[in-house]
Amino acid sequence: MKKYFAALSTTALICVAPHALAASNTPLKVTGFITPAACDINLSRGGLVDIGKKSVNDLHPTSNTLVDTTKIQLTMACSETMPFMLNPIDHRPNTAAGAGDYFGVGLTPDNEKLGFFDIAITASTADTTPVQAIGSSDGGATWAKQDRIKLGNQSSVAATSDHATRIEVKDLTMDLEIKTYIAGTDTLTIDNEIPIDGLATIEVWYK
């Protein structure tokens, strides 16, 4: 999982100077901030979930099979207390079998969707205090309780008593469960060994 450090635009003002023959002009203003703060985000186990080899005989013929559950921990250390959002990116887009907010694990040689993985948040602590994981589907305009890191949504944390209000954090710990599923064998062509190949990045947005 790579680390992402957000930078906002500088402030400038560009005005269209009046020409000798022009009767009017209009300003163009670009605004924003450069923040001196930054966060370092890491995943335990090096961000690697290795489920080993699974036999096709262990897979359900007509429904998804849970083949592995691995616990890892996400930690974030910031230089100062600040608001943040975690934004996931799926590097195997459009390969997840099932719901659209899961992460893909690649395709078979016949371009069949092999399965997906889900990222559950089982516990969160901010600055030594237990907090509630929350999510937003509109870029942070509104928030609600969300115990998963969902593709297409942003994640953050709130006080356990108020799930709609994001709080500022300096140090964050999230306990995660990565659950990997393989699609029903009736949708797959498995004539040879097929690699399970999921890859996602979690960005930190400072806003």
| Residue 152 pLDDT grade (very low, low, confident, very high; cuts 50, 70, 90) | very high
What's the pLDDT score for residue 9? 30
Residue 3 forms part of a structural domain: no
Task: Work out the angle at residue 203's Cα, subtended by the Cα atoms of residues 31 and 195, and round it to the nearest 5 degrees.
Answer: 145
DSSP 58: G
For residue 149, give the H/E element and its range: strand 148-149
- Domain enclosing residue 135, as ranges: 40-205
What's the pLDDT score for residue 29? 64
Report, as an integer, the average pLDDT of 147-174.
Answer: 96
* Collapsed DSSP state (helix, strand, coil) of residue 154: strand
Is the pLDDT score of 143 beyond 90?
yes
Task: Work out the angle at residue 33's Cα, subtended by the Cα atoms of residues 27 and 35, and round it to the nearest 5 degrees.
Answer: 170
Residue 5 forms part of a structural domain: no
pLDDT digits (tens, 9 = 90+) for 49-79: 998 888 999 999 999 999 999 999 999 999 9
For residue 177, give the nearest of 19, 66, 92 by alpha carbon.
66
Whole-angstrom distance, CA of residue 88 vs CA of residue 119: 10
Whole-angstrom distance, CA of residue 65 vs CA of residue 59: 6
What's the mean pLDDT when you consider all of the chain?
Answer: 86
What's the pLDDT score for residue 33? 59
Looking at 15-19, 43-47, 71-75, 91-95, which range is the least confident one? 15-19
Residue 179 forms part of a structural domain: yes
| Helix, strand, coil % over all residues of the chain, rounded to 5 | 5, 45, 50
Whole-angstrom distance, CA of residue 150 vs CA of residue 38: 24
Residue 96 forms part of a structural domain: yes
| Residue 8 pLDDT grade (very low, low, confident, very high; cuts 50, 70, 90) | very low
The CATH number assigned to the domain holding 75 equals 2.60.40
Residue 19 forms part of a structural domain: no
Residue 200 forms part of a structural domain: yes
| Residue 105 pLDDT grade (very low, low, confident, very high; cuts 50, 70, 90) | very high
| Residue 98 pLDDT grade (very low, low, confident, very high; cuts 50, 70, 90) | confident
Global confidence as pTM:
0.82
- Residues 6+ away with beta carbon under 8 Å from 59: 65, 67, 182, 184, 185
Tell me how far CA of residue 157 lies from CA of 25, 83, 179, 189, in angstroms: 46, 9, 22, 42
* C-alpha 149, offset from chain centre: 6
| Residue 38 pLDDT grade (very low, low, confident, very high; cuts 50, 70, 90) | confident
At 79, list the tokens: 């230089």
Beta bridge partners of 158: 132, 166
Looking at 40-49, 121-130, 149-158, which range is the least confident one? 40-49
Residue 29 forms part of a structural domain: no
Tell me how far CA of residue 87 lies from CA of 56, 77, 83, 160, in angstroms: 34, 16, 13, 21
Domain count, the chain: 1
Residue 74 forms part of a structural domain: yes
pLDDT digits (tens, 9 = 90+) for 73-96: 999 999 999 999 999 999 999 999
